[in-house]
Amino acid sequence: MRNLTVLDCSTSLAGAYCTRLFATLGAEVIIAEPPGGHPLRGAPPWVTITEDGPVSAAWAYLAANKRSVVAADDATLAPLEARANLVVLSTDGDPDLALARAERIRRANPAAVVTICSGFGLTGPYRAYRSTPLVDWAVGGYLLLTGERQREPLAGAGPWSSYVGGATATLASQAALFRARHRGSGDLLDVSNMEAAAASHQWSITLYTHQGIRKTRWGNRHGEAHHPLALYRCTDGWVVIGAVSRHQWEGLCIATDNVELLIDEALYTPAERFDRMDEIDTLLNPWFAAHSRAEAVQLLQEQRCPAGQVLALDEALRSPQLEARAYWAVPEGMGPDARIPGPPFRIGERTVPTRPAPTLGQHQNEVFA
């Protein structure tokens, strides 16, 4: 998205993720920070790189490729608002404040798209509710589906439900930018993490509207209609397999020396396998327990049964696949071992440099010049 200027006045993870995507796509992204700095500068996890003390890894990642200016008041930002193609705002508990700011920006710059990211949206009974990443996991409907049925539901290891809101804000803003270019006037967009997550379910909501079934969680099994799409323990860790189609089930049975299962025609129906998953896993578990992760995956993939190792993150960082695709970026100033994800996809031959997250107000002079 070259030739675009994005002004990021948000303070939320969703807003920061939205504009990070624009930065990786080649847009000029300027973060407007209060004099005390953006709240994400204090967000965990922290890493220590220099004697100056720990810095936020979240900030180092989300603010990479962006520029920073400091603005103590709205008037300071007026020149930037007037030339931005997209302004990203956020709200947490006070939607009217964000709306008033958006309207002021739109009056000054009718061509700009203004996107407001929030936990719950600008309208409706929950509009003034506050969110955190865990609350986003909960109200978007993901939380209840993960974890053991006998225990409390389980969130993922990061604010990924909030990022679903951010990615949704990105694509909505992109589409609105096409419209603004065509019509010469921008739109005001309202993107909430709750709705973004609720719209990004597999078939949970359809399962209720079509059949009245309340979906629940199934541990490391996938649920009502499929098995095995699950994790299994090997000698040196875990693997995940997905025998969904007929030929994948056949491949699984052959690879794991359970060919007698092929005689049972009922098991060719994935949901029948779910209903009989304990019986199946009793046969599969010893085979996995006798193989290493690498051995199991190789034997299964040879039979075209989807399978992969459950890698620890340090192993994923050394993944030959990601290495071969030059996926990792090395942020400047953080040492030779530092890695963050590079662009999420390759668009043609274009490359976007990875500039480190800015210091507070680092680009004040050049931006306002």
Partner 1 sequence: MSRPDDSGSTVGSDWRAAFDLDGVRVLELTVAWAGPMAGRWLGEFGADVIKIEHPTSRGLAMGSGMAADPSWQRGQLPGPTLRNGIFPDNDPGEHWWNRLGHFNKMNRTKRSLCLDLKAPGGREIFEELVRRSDVVLNNYSPRGVLSLGIDHETLRTINPRIVTVDLSGFGATGPEYDQVSWGPILEGASGLAHATGYAGSGPFKQGLAFPDAVGGLHGTVALLAALWERDVTGEAVHVDASQLETYLQFAGDLCLTTSLTGASPARKGNRAEDLAPQGVYPCRGDDRWLALSVPDDAAWATLVELVGDPALSDADYRSVDGRRAAHDHLDSILAAWTSGQDAHELMARLQDAAIPAGVAMSNEDLVGDPHLTERGFLVTVEQTDARPLTFPGFPVHAAGWQPTVRAAPALGEHNEEILRWLGYDDAAIATLRAAGTVADVPPA
| Residue 289 binds partner 1, judged by CB under 8 A | no
Residue closer to partner 1, measured from CB, 35 or 344: 344
Binding residues with partner 1: total (CB under 8 A) = 166
| 88 touches 6 (CB < 8 A) | yes
Q: How many CB atoms lie within 10 A of CB 326?
A: 10
With binding defined as CB under 8 A, does residue 234 bind partner 1? Answer: no
* Contacts of partner 1 in 95-114 (CB under 8 A): none
* Residues found in the chain: 369
* Alpha carbon distance 72, 91 (integer Å): 18
Of the two residues 69 and 274, which places its CB atom closer to partner 1 in the complex? 274
Q: Which two tokens stand for residue 194?
A: 């709750």
Nearest to 57 by CA among 360, 362, 357: 357
Residue 156 makes contact with partner 1 by CB under 8 A: yes
Amino acid at 93: G
Q: Taking the CB of residue 210, how many other CB atoms lie within 10 A of it?
A: 9
Min CB(156)–partner 1 separation in Å: 5
- By the 10 Å C-beta count (0-12 exposed, 13-18 middle, 19+ buried), 114 is classed as buried
- Smallest gap from Cβ 74 to partner 1, in A, equals 21
Rounded distance, CA 25 to CA 212, Å? 42
Could you tell me whether strands 46-50 and 53-56 are parallel, antiparallel, or unpaired per DSSP bridges? antiparallel
What is the smallest separation between the CB atom of 182 and partner 1, expressed in angstroms?
Answer: 5
- Of the pair 72, 330, the CB lying nearest partner 1 is at 330
Instruction: Decide if residue 84 touches partner 1 (CB under 8 A).
Output: no
Query: Is residue 134 involved in binding partner 1 (CB under 8 A)?
Result: yes
Which of 7, 23, 188, 234 touches partner 1 (CB under 8 A)? 188
Of 38 and 222, CB closest to partner 1: 222
121 binds partner 1 (CB under 8 A): yes
What per-residue string of b and e applies to 230-245 under the rule 16 or more CB within 10 Å gives b? Answer: bebebeeeebbbbbbe
Which residues ranging from 8 to 27 are in contact with partner 1 (CB under 8 A)?
21, 25
**37 touches partner 1 by CB under 8 A:** no
Task: Determine, following the binding rule CB under 8 A, whether residue 153 of this chain makes contact with partner 1.
Answer: yes
Asked whether position 168 contacts partner 1 by CB under 8 A, the answer is: yes
By CB under 8 A, name the one of 53, 125, 184, 353 that touches partner 1: 125
